[in-house]
Structure 1
Amino acid sequence: MIFRIAKFMNLYGKLSDAELVDLLKSGDQTAFTEIFNRFQSLLYIFAYKRTGNREEAKDLIHELFLMLWEKRSELHIPSGLPAYLFTVLRNRIFDLYKRKKVSQRYIETFQKYLDHNHNTTDHLIRHNNLSELISREIAALPCKMREVFELSRKTNLTRKEIALTLNLSEQTVKSHMHHALKILKGRLGYMLAFVFIIYP
């Protein structure tokens, strides 16, 4: 019996992230378990590095996966599962900072940064649909290259962490980032600089 269960789980381990998400949406608990096993360690490291507190990091991961299960039928993950999970976790960490008020100066500084960039680029975004244009060009990147780029820009993971998350070598991650920036520069020209404002 145990052997059959292990063999069954091994089959799920060979599924892609997108396939697991489709199964999760249908209520497949084994798919949920595989997603948890696949990402929880890296997510915990990410949370612990940013909170410095093991219990808070564990709580954040627990809340993240609880949300993932409870809202499974409503999930919309256009950028790939890793980018989705790390982005949600990053936002929850930011919410934790706000609740605890231990990083008020950081939050105020971050808000000033957002306000400043909003003031200096808002008219461009309104009149030229810059944000939509950049999003379309990023979405048009080859699949794995786009995943690497979005993990780098949206979650601030290190090259090594991205490599572990996507099961790639660090050199491959570096190559994907290099080519992504080269492609975007060719398509966006001087507007490439705004990628680092819209995706800080």
Structure 2
Amino acid sequence: MAPYTTLSDADLTVLLKQQDQRAYTVIYERYWALLFRHAGRMLKDDEQAADVIQDLFTVMWTNAETLEINTSLASYLYTSLRNRILKLIRREKVQINYLVTLPDFEKEGHNITDEILREKELQIQIEREIEMLPPKMREIFELSRNAHMSYKQIAEEINIAEGTVKKQVYNALKILRTRLGMTFFMGIMKLILFFFK
């Protein structure tokens, strides 16, 4: 058998599902630094970034046998990381908003709560619509927007033409704009710029 470091992500994923410790180690070493940089940009806190990634890999190893990876390994890892970070940001944002707005609550009352609820509803709606995109289009869109991969990198990662990647991202944005309406679409663009800058 070829050395584990030369195996493709797909081969490593098969071995991981068989609870192969060496395959897990190679995946960890192959992606840890990339995920750390990505998480660091989003969280602006290296300690939090390391904790989120450690949790991601721990859960991945614990659930190795039942792991469902329907996209590329890179897309799976970036999407899982993004979801964990968004949960963390939302949780912290709610806590901060609560502490900051508590003294003013009597003055402003339900307006603050309404704004937080609208923002949460928008985030949920956007996530739901992204999940409803066709699988290949969703994978390409998430690699582009969430993993910050260039069209060329995505094309190489999933072995398709760069022009196809560009067209899929364009089509995904067009579908989201149609489904969400202009107000929601502007919201998704703001969230993308805020969370993934």
CA positional deviation for 1:27: 1.0
**Cα deviation code 1:80-114 (max 9, x no counterpart):** 11111111111111221233334779975642424
- Of residues 64-73 and 97-106 in structure 1, the stretch that sits farther from structure 2 once superposed is 97-106
- What does residue 113 of structure 1 align with? 122
Partner Cα distance (2:40, 2:48) in 1: 8
Judge conservation of contact 1:97–1:103 (CA < 8 Å) in 2.
no
CA distance in 1, matches of 2:124, 2:33: 35
Which structure's relative contact order is higher, taking Cα pairs within 8 Å and 6+ residues apart? Answer: 2
- What is the aligned counterpart of 2:58 among 66, 70, 79? 66
TM-score (norm 2): 0.63
Q: Does 1:157 align with 2:148?
A: yes
User: How far apart are the structure 2 equivalents of 1:32 and 1:76?
Assistant: 15
Asked whether the 8 Å contact 1:148–1:176 carries over to 2, the reply is no
| Partners of 1:60 and 1:89 within 8 A in 2 | yes
Aligned with 2:22 (options 25, 30, 35): 30
1:89 aligns with 2:81: yes
Q: How many angstroms apart in 2 are the aligned matches of 1:109 and 1:174?
A: 37
Task: Give identity over the alignment, percent.
Answer: 29
Matched ranges for 1:160-199 at <5 A: 163=153, 168=156, 175-181=163-169, 191=175, 193-194=177-178
Task: Specify whether residues 157 and 86 from structure 1 end up closer, same or farther in structure 2 by C-alpha distance, changes over 3 A only.
Answer: same
Closer/same/farther in 2, CA of residues 59 and 116 from structure 1, 3 Å limit: closer
Name the TM-score, length of structure 1 as normaliser. 0.62
In structure 2, runs of 5+ residues without a counterpart are 99-111, 189-197
Contact 2:52/2:85, CA 8 A, preserved across alignment:
yes
Alpha-carbon deviation of 1:116?
Answer: 6.9
Stretch of structure 1 that moved more, 21-30 or 105-114: 105-114
- Residue 60 of structure 1 deviates from its aligned partner by 0.8
Compared CA separation, residues 71 and 115, structure 1 to 2 (3 A):
closer
Deviations 1:150-200 (A, max 9, x none): 4124x252428x83xx6949xx98534224357x58xxxx747458889x6
- Distance between the aligned counterparts of 1:72 and 1:21, measured in 2? 9
Letter in 1 for 2:62: E
Query: What is the Cα-based RMSD across aligned positions, in Å?
Result: 4.0
Q: Structure 1 stretches (4+) deviating beyond 6 angstroms?
A: 103-107, 115-118, 195-198
